[in-house]
Amino acid sequence: MHELSLMEAVRDLALEQAGEHHARRISTITLRIGSLAGVEPDALRFAFDVVMAGTLGEGAALVIEDVQAHAFCDVCQQTFPAHDGVCECPDCGAISRDLVQGRELQLASLDLDCDDDPLQS
């Protein structure tokens, strides 16, 4: 289950940021996940609870933002949805080799509880 190792990396980044901001607690972690990233959101949620146990992030909320895949057509000079990884332009039929989004797995934001008030970084 590679979702566990992915969440361990997210945990490490979040704890690093929390330490830099002298946070008491991590309240929310937001991830941006592409539809073609090859990760299972439910498995990430399970792994999140496991890897955050005993850390500043224990009990934090996990927010997952889905990012739909889009490709760029060189012929039409526009982007289009690449549903299920199909990169055929719906207007001209050209096959795109330029996937502009859909494979990302990004730590989009953290909500940290610091000494006085929450800080979003």
Q: What is the DSSP string of 53-66?
A: TTSTTTT-EEEEEE
pLDDT digit string, tens, across residues 13-39? 999 999 999 999 999 999 999 999 999
Domain spans, the chain: 2-67+102-114
SS3 label, residue 41: helix
42 Cβ neighbours under 8 A, 6+ residues apart: none
The answer, yes or no, to whether residue 82 has pLDDT greater than 80, is: yes
pLDDT digit string, tens, across residues 51-78? 999 999 999 999 999 999 999 999 999 9
Q: Is the domain defined by 2-67+102-114 classed in CATH 3.30.360.10?
A: no
Q: What DSSP designation does 96 have?
A: P
Question: If pLDDT is split at 50, 70 and 90, which confidence band does 116 have?
Answer: low
Token pair, residue 112, equals: 């940290």
Higher pLDDT, 95 or 2: 95
pLDDT digit string, tens, across residues 95-107? 998 999 999 999 9
Token pair, residue 65, equals: 């933002």
The stretches of the chain forming alpha helices (DSSP H) are 2-20, 41-52
What pLDDT is attached to residue 121?
Answer: 46
Considering the entire predicted model, what is its pTM? Answer: 0.83
